[in-house]
Amino acid sequence: MMRQYELVERVLAYNPGADEALLNRAYVYAMKKHGTQTRDSGDLYFAHPLEVAAILTEMKLDDATIAGALLHDTIEDTDATREEIEELFGPQIAEVVDGVTKIEQLNLVTREEAQAENLRKLLLAISQDVRVLIVKLADRLHNMRTIEYVPEEKRRRIAQETMDIYAPLAGRMGMQDMRSELEDISFGVLQPDHYAIITSRLKHMEDENRGAIETISSELTQKLATAGIAAQVSARLKNPWSIFKKIEQRDIALEQLSDIIGFRVIVENEDDCYRTLGVVHSNWKMVPGRFKDYISLPKYNDYRSIHTTIVGPANQRAELQIRTRQMHSIAEYGVAGHALYKDNVQGSFKKLEKENQAYNWLRQTIEHLTKGEETDEFLEYTKLELFQDQVFCFSPQGRLIALPRGATPIDFAYAVHTDIGDTCTGAKINGVISPLVSRLRNGDEVEIIRDSNHTPSPHWVNIAITGKARSAIRRAVRIEELKRARTLGKQVLGTLLQREGIEDEETGAKKLAVLAGFKSVDDLIEAIGSGQIQAENLDEHVEKLTGKRRSMFRRKKITLPVAQEADGWFSLRDNSNFKFRIPGGQRLGAKGKAALSRLGFNTPVHISPEGVVPGDRMVGILDTEGVLSIFPIHSDALESLYNKDVAWIDVLWDARHAHNNMFNVSVSMLAANKPGMLANATATIASCDANIHNLVLRMISPEFHQLIFQLEVRDLVQLTEALSTLKYSDGLSKVRRSSIEEARAISRIDWQNHNEES
């Protein structure tokens, strides 16, 4: 365990003006308060806050933050109080300790309602002083480093919480080294088999390429020195979790990744970064499409560096990161490396937002949660924002807009301004009119086409990928639905009052609202228009209002459109696996409107040949003949349907009927053309308890076959397990769910003919 003087010396080494007396008081106070408390490992508990403080000294943080780290568990685990800490150490340190204590009491892996509320509290605590987050992340890092001593059931919960919340938060704050270590340890806990396979293969690849690594390092250092550039060159392999994610995202084998070996070049200034790039590209071939200039266009978390990939000795690809020492400090420590925190200045919310883009994201998120968004929407918004990677696009005026990878023109429009998103009707990408479902790429110029009378379509929620866009779309759709409900309700109520011979409609409506238990006429109108109450259910109240029994009223029921039924969701049939909701704003002709009015009453339902399983997000496409076709949200068929005269219907699984059933879904993969590969694939599928319903084998080249399986699975969890297991089977690569063309090849029913016959 680190001694008192050793900790103080660590701080003085980078901050000679540190308050030694403060550090000594905090050390002694925390040690006395924790006393003989022990951890799961059997070590004295005080060793934990001491190690947390040591982690923060590596980041060269101010003495107030180090003192807060020493004291961070005293309020929660001892008889210390905030008042006592404030009296002894001042309000800043007390605020940090109190903020960390509040975070400790939150359970961030729980049912969604509680998780969302706890996430709100977490972000609010951080917003008061960013050092609360820094101390908490260091606390979590040390806990993860010693997680092997924690009981297994608790270990998995902590690892999942770390992977879902704390690692992404560290990334969002620019603390990449901490994020990587948190992710790797969590990965090892949550998926030990995959972790073991990847680390073993990485070790083998490191040994195999050691010569190439040493050659590139030596040659690069020598050539830079010849060019008069003082540089520090280091090499490393990518961390296991980042490798695993790339294998998942790209559907390729580990050996096919081009950037497993990475080199970091640290130079003195920005000019040297670009001079180094010139030296590199002059001596080695660069890989096209693998150059990124994050100095000119920094990432959302202030990360700045130049990335390029070269073809080195023995055709070995290697990624290079070129940056200055200051850039490197921010790349490693993010907000913790910011100069604001090296002068013992309180990390106030307002001051930091002007200095740091990473913390500016937190300000925007705090603004979002204070708008009182619904629980599920806030949770979705925050998680989407935490996990994004970026592309950079431009407006016609040259304004730079940073968006998550995979963003669409809809996301771009809402990123510019909510009003632009709400009135968006189309987009030009690089001068060419393009569908709103198009995925934007780095450098695209996006022009939004607008119509002031237009409102967002509800199915945009399935196209947009940013939390801001989805939230704004849902809000606009709710407003439109409310307007329609009010218009419809007003018409229905007016018709009802006229039919009953009530001449003073205003007075009659007020009295009827009171009799029906509503606070106002507007509330009654909204209830009627939204289907919460049917007009015929007002019978007894009308009779009380008029003093007469009106049998004619009972015979002339006012029937509302199907879309206005209670809650908006319906089962298609008693034996259906689906529920549906009809969004507003559909672009249909007379036939389509007629089909829309019949939806829900023996509607023919067809499933896309790719298959859908419980857990999938789905879209229903209703054609003018009244046939509803269900597609998974990833289906490539949806893009071709965007401008067709069809209605996009929200579809959910009906849990009453989906339980314990088996569902067909198509998957595709490449297999090396060698004996036993088909047997290997089928055995792997069987090991996941999935059944093979059908199989198509195509020869792609003499070296590879394409295997297309139609599997029977219970749900998305089982399907994901099967896909993940297949990806790590030797000789298999590009494992993914099939495209619609591939699925048609294996389906025993021709999809187009099936639709035509219907």
What are the catalytic residues?
Answer: 76-77
Distance, C-alpha 475 to centroid of its chain: 20
Q: Is 754 exposed, middle or buried (0-12, 13-18, 19+ CB in 10 A)?
A: middle
- 326-357 per-residue burial string, b: 16 or more CB within 10 A, e: under 16: ebbbbbbbbbbbbebbeebebbebeebbeebb
Distance, C-alpha 678 to centroid of its chain: 35
| Nearest Cα residue to 35 out of 48, 44, 43 | 44
Distance, C-alpha 165 to centroid of its chain: 11
User: What gap in Å lies between CA 666 and CA 739, rounded to an integer?
Assistant: 8
| Nearest Cα residue to 673 out of 665, 664, 681 | 681
User: What are the DSSP E strand ranges found in 567-646?
Assistant: 570-571, 578-581, 605-607, 618-622, 628-632
User: What gap in Å lies between CA 711 and CA 682, rounded to an integer?
Assistant: 11
How does DSSP classify residue 44?
A: B
User: What gap in Å lies between CA 498 and CA 505, rounded to an integer?
Assistant: 8
| Nearest Cα residue to 259 out of 328, 335, 177, 317 | 317
Cβ neighbours of 223 (radius 10 Å): 17
Q: Which amino acid is at 221?
A: T
User: What gap in Å lies between CA 127 and CA 368, rounded to an integer?
Assistant: 13
Give SS3 for 387: coil
| Nearest Cα residue to 581 out of 530, 517, 635, 509 | 530
R_g of the chain computed on alpha carbons: 31
Residue identified by tokens 């023996």 is 602
Give SS3 for 539: helix
